[in-house]
């Protein structure tokens, strides 16, 4: 009997995670036409893995080919994503038994988990546990994270687009501030995502091509924040260029451990959350020099900005979705797909794979050789790495002046089991 | 003898103010070819009107036609802008005498002032005063402001693009939050520009086409903020849709007069500036319901986002630059050009004019019929007004993955006068 596939989005969504879903569903449809006995439908978990627990499955076969194609250019998570941890078997046995029950009932034999490093660990754990419970699955991890902090892959789908967004935004705001600096704003700060790694702030550095171009200062979590050195650099910058443009990663640290601020709304104590890193450094500057500053918090705008997605990123996200199905069909399991760089310029890449068990919790921070000696900018080596990831434009269609994104109908597979509350 | 033109950008810059400069310089070049005896060169003030006082004039005739054409798609103010007030003649006589001296020395007979309502008042004042001092000028005001708060014109160049940006950003972030709401962020707030008028926040409302689409709540300076009514609406929204997306104008008021927060960095006392309106309403929500919220401050990104400019806006900005020269050449003076709407759908418009003296300080807030009865959204009448302003795409060229904007050489006209410190 044909085995159906379960696809779940996990963790923070990106501008291109739906491109992966698009590739995966398209590939599964093609294979189903050729081998209806071996692969059935793709069921997506509503709100990710939670949908498997609650038997809340979306039957993607009821969407038209045209709407599935539109997923390629629609941001967010089309079926809902979640930050949900299954927990260990010892304490959460009922959860795993429920998964077995749901997967058996709906003939699910393929499990595609589209997430970051935590999700890859979860997928590996799930694969082992379900086999232990007598329902082995074909498990394929597909990387996704704007933070670019997954080890073992050249980059992660989602990052190239946020990188293009922050570099473009920094360039544009730089033109603005440069025009206003004489009588108004002297300092502009863009707070970028990146709790533990400075990849996104680094990407803003691509906006600076010539000496003096903004951004003038990048602040990375990898570099201990030294207020005096920073202030001296800001002052020098204003003296030389008339203004100073800064990109700060939200996870900036003033010692080896603690975050200064961060856009962690509703999570951290209010004194840390009230302004975040951007506000913190802005107030430092204002207090010392009296410069008027402006702060932009791109927040979700940066990771949802499908209108400005990187062509490279979209192509990779889509190709990974296709490859996930192909490899599962070839009998591969317990792997995470990776992107492998074959050359920088021209940028050539291919899809690789690594065992899922080797992926979990290996954080990929910026290497020292990507950060300039003074700690305030990126090196040529970093540019060489980042540059191809932001290249290419792949704009969505527009209708009435706005991007015309798809909202799927998301028809549910009829429930056949009693309710379960996770 | 041919009279030269002086062009100054004034106040906050926009994504399309350089499109106006482009049209103006192109039109002046064409007329100069035909009538070299009547119109000479276009000199741009470095940092706006300050450049006239300091005899810091940029000779735009030294830029290539190709680079001037590139101004059409480059954000910021190509020659620098400024927030500088000339003051009244009685107390600032030396300033006006200096302007006469500079304009006489450089044969300047045309004065083009590209700014908001304050700038139009200044232009009128300058025109009268210089005539009084024996150097009458042809004075043409060209509107520009992202805030859309200029009376007597259908819209202002700059607004359509910021409107397209916030509507697009809200739609994209809405897709993101909708996918994450079950286990993570329940509330998303986009703080938009707009100290005194809610036009930009209103434009975010265009992202919502169907019932339940984000944004669910718009907060306008025109509507007194009532925390209890607001919180009730947020709760209802989360109950119905699983999440709540809000666009808040920075100038939100809790009584008829005072701003709650606002992105007025480095200007207001720190207790008001620390978080701004977005943070204020986010904390209110978090305190009452415990919902995790995320906040985006688009700040300069919104008004510099040339990559996402409205085609309508670019066309109007450019046409106003052309028309300014044409009307000056026809002998018109002391006017501000306007945009006149001839029909909504299809949108047809033409360029009109009003006497400069009638423009100053007539603030154009959102009319009551544009705000829904509950005060939290826009009406159909408002949509009909806003819709054409965001339509059309006019993307810049890209190079190496980023918009390829022009930085002019900005060669200075040799100084012929002693230094002057304003």
At residue A290, what are phi and psi to the nearest 5 degrees? 75, 5
ipTM, 2 dp? 0.96
How confident is the model at residue B86, as a pLDDT? 86
Contact flag B401-A206 (C-beta cutoff 8 Å): yes
pLDDT grade for B343, boundaries at 50, 70 and 90: very high
How confident is the model at residue A257, as a pLDDT? 47
Residue A299: active-site member? no
pLDDT grade for A112, boundaries at 50, 70 and 90: very high
Residue B272 pLDDT > 50: no
Q: Of A147, A149, A334, A394, which is the active-site residue?
A: A147
Report the pLDDT averaged over residues B30-53: 97
Nearby residues of B74 by Cβ (< 8 Å), 6 or more positions away: A175, B18, B306, B396, B405, B406
Residue B283 annotated as part of some ligand binding site: no
Name the residue among B17, B377, B417 with its Cα closest to residue B205.
B377
Neighboring chain B residues of A80 at a CB cutoff of 8 Å: 178-180, 182
Gap from B38 CA to chain A (nearest CA, Å): 31
Neighboring chain B residues of A78 at a CB cutoff of 8 Å: 179
Q: What is residue A343's three-state secondary structure?
A: strand
The 3-state secondary structure of A313-336 reads: HHHHHHHHHHHHHHHHHCCCCCEE
pLDDT, chain B, mean: 93
Of chain B residues 235-264, which have a CB less than 8 A from chain A?
A: 263
Of B15, B178, B282, the CB nearest to A76: B178
Q: Which residue ranges form the domains of chain A, and what is each CATH number?
A: 3-145+308-360+393-403 (3.40.50.450), 159-192+194-298 (3.40.50.460)
pLDDT grade for A253, boundaries at 50, 70 and 90: confident
Of chain B residues 128-187, which have a CB less than 8 A from chain A?
A: 164, 167-169, 171-180, 182-185
The 3-state secondary structure of chain B reads: CCEEEEEEEECCCCCCHHHHHHHHHHHHHHHHHHCCCCEEEEEEECCCHHHHHCCCEEEHHHCCHHHHHHHHHCCCCCCCEECCCCCCHHHHHHHHHHHHHHHHHCCEEEEEEEECHHHHHHHHHHHHHHHHCCCCCEEEEEECCCCCCECCCCCCCCHHHHHHHHHHHHHHHHHHHHHHCCCCCCEEEEEECCCCCCHHHHHHHHHCCCCCCCCCEEECCCCCCCHHHHHHHHHHHHHHHCCEEEEEECCCECCCCCECCCCCCCCCCHHHHCCHHHHHHHHHHHHHHCCCEEEEECHHHHHHCHHHCEHHHHHHHHHHHHHHHHHHHCCCCCEEEEEEEEEECCEEEEEEEEEHHHCCCCECCCCHHHECCCCCCECHHHHHHHHHHHCCECCCCEECCEECCCCCCCCECCCCCCCCCC
Mean pLDDT is highest, among A81-85, A160-164, B122-126, for A160-164
pLDDT grade for B262, boundaries at 50, 70 and 90: very low
pLDDT grade for B2, boundaries at 50, 70 and 90: confident
Residue A300 annotated as part of some ligand binding site: yes
Report the pLDDT averaged over residues A283-297: 96
Contact flag B286-A300 (C-beta cutoff 8 Å): no
Residue B312 pLDDT > 90: yes
Residue in chain A closest to B213 (alpha carbons) equals A407
Catalytic residues of B: 147
Contact flag A175-B84 (C-beta cutoff 8 Å): no
pLDDT, chain A, mean: 93
CA distance A421 to A7: 21
Of B13, B164, B265, the CB nearest to A294: B265
Q: Name the β-bridge partners of B141.
A: B113, B336
DSSP tag of A412: B
* Tens-digit pLDDT profile for residues A310-369: 999 999 999 999 999 999 999 999 999 999 999 999 999 999 999 999 986 777 899 999
Any A CB within 8 A of B71 CB: no
Region of B222 please: left (phi>0), alpha (psi -120 to 50) or beta. Answer: alpha
How confident is the model at residue A261, as a pLDDT? 53
CA dihedral over B251, B257, B260, B265, signed as positive or negative: positive
Neighboring chain B residues of A263 at a CB cutoff of 8 Å: 294-295
Consecutive H or E run containing A241: helix A227-241
Is residue B406 within 8 A of residue B84, CB to CB? The reply is no
């Amino acid at each position: 009997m044909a085995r159906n596939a379960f696809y779940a989005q996990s963790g923070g969504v990106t501008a291109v995670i739906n491109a992966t879903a698009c590739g995966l569903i398209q590939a599964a449809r093609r294979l189903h036409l050729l081998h209806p006995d071996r692969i059935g439908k793709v069921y997506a978990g509503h709100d990710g893995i939670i949908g498997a627990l609650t038997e809340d499955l979306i039957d993607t076969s009821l969407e038209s080919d045209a709407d599935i194609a539109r997923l390629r250019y629609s941001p967010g998570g089309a079926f809902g994503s979640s930050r949900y941890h299954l927990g260990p078997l010892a304490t959460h046995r009922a959860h795993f038994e429920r998964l077995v029950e749901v997967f058996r009932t709906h003939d699910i034999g393929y499990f595609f988990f589209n997430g970051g490093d935590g999700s890859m660990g979860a997928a590996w754990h799930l694969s082992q546990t379900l086999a232990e419970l007598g329902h082995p699955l074909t498990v394929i991890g597909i990387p996704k994270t704007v933070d670019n902090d997954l080890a073992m892959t050249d980059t992660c789908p989602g990052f190239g687009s946020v990188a293009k967004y922050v570099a473009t935004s920094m360039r544009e705001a730089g033109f603005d501030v440069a025009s206003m600096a004489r009588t108004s704003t002297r300092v502009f700060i863009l707070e970028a995502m990146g709790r533990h790694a400075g990849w996104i702030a680094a990407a803003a550095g691509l906006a600076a091509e010539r000496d003096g171009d903004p951004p003038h200062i990048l602040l990375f979590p990898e570099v201990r924040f030294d207020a005096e050195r920073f202030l001296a650099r800001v002052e020098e910058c204003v003296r030389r260029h008339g203004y100073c443009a800064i990109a700060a990663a939200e996870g900036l640290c003033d010692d080896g451990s603690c975050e200064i601020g961060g856009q962690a709304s509703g999570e951290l104590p209010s004194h840390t959350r009230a302004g975040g890193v951007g506000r913190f450094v802005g107030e430092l500057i204002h207090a010392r020099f009296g410069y008027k500053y402006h702060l932009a918090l791109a927040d979700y705008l940066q990771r949802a900005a499908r209108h400005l997605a990187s062509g490279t990123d979209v192509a990779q996200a889509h190709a990974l979705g296709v490859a996930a199905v192909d490899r599962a069909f070839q009998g591969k399991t317990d792997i995470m797909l990776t992107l492998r760089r074959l050359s920088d310029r021209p940028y050539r890449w291919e899809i690789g794979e690594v065992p899922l068990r080797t992926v979990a919790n290996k954080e990929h921070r910026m290497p020292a050789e990507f950060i300039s000696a003074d700690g305030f900018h990126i090196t040529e080596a970093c540019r060489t790495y980042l540059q191809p990831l932001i290249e290419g434009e792949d704009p969505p269609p527009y209708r009435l002046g706005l991007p015309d994104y798809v909202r799927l109908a998301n028809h549910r597979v009829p429930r056949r089991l009693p309710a379960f509350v996770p």
